[in-house]
Amino acid sequence: MRVSDYSSSSEKGKTVRNPINTKYLNHKHSAKQRGILFDLTFDQWYDIWQQSGKWDLRGKGKGTYVMSRIGDTGGYTLSNVYIQSNSSNVIEGNKNRIITDETKTKLSNTHKKICDPKHIIKMHAARYGHKIKETI
């Protein structure tokens, strides 16, 4: 499909944007808001999704797929993107994050009624691939 297949149209004087084009523009805008280069045309972006076979499964949450950047770094460029599961993307994005004392406290306060806070921190770190910053 080409851009012309998914461009805006006009009905009774109102501009109606195709939903697929809107998804592209939302992704581009989200990257800009996060300070990440987005250098894909609509055709390139859509072709990547179509070639992956995951278009109908894209989105947020468990069981969905996202367009990821290699190593969660750099921009959205042809040589730096691929489609992967949302859960894998979250784990990859959190691999090098460190849980600070402030975050530990927030996690502990949130979960202390449920079980041991130290256990929650360890489970959270293991689940999302965080490293725990040791305090002296």
pLDDT at 77 over 70: yes
* 57 and 118 together in one domain: no
Percent of the chain predicted with pLDDT > 70: 79
* Distance spanning both ends of the chain, measured CA to CA: 58
Alpha carbon 131 to its chain centroid, in Å, reads 20
In a domain, 92, yes or no: no
Co-location of 44 and 107 in the same domain:
no
Tell me, yes or no, whether 113 lies in a domain.
yes
Question: Packing angle between helix 86-94 and helix 117-128, nearest 10 degrees?
Answer: 110
The tokens for 51 are: 């070639």
Statement to judge: residues 66 and 33 lie in one domain: yes
For 58, the domain range is 3-86
pTM comes to 0.63
Do 50 and 114 have their domain in common? Answer: no
Residues 54 and 117 in one domain: no
Residue scoring higher pLDDT (24 or 132): 24
pLDDT value at position 133?
73
Between residues 131 and 67, which one has the greater pLDDT?
A: 67
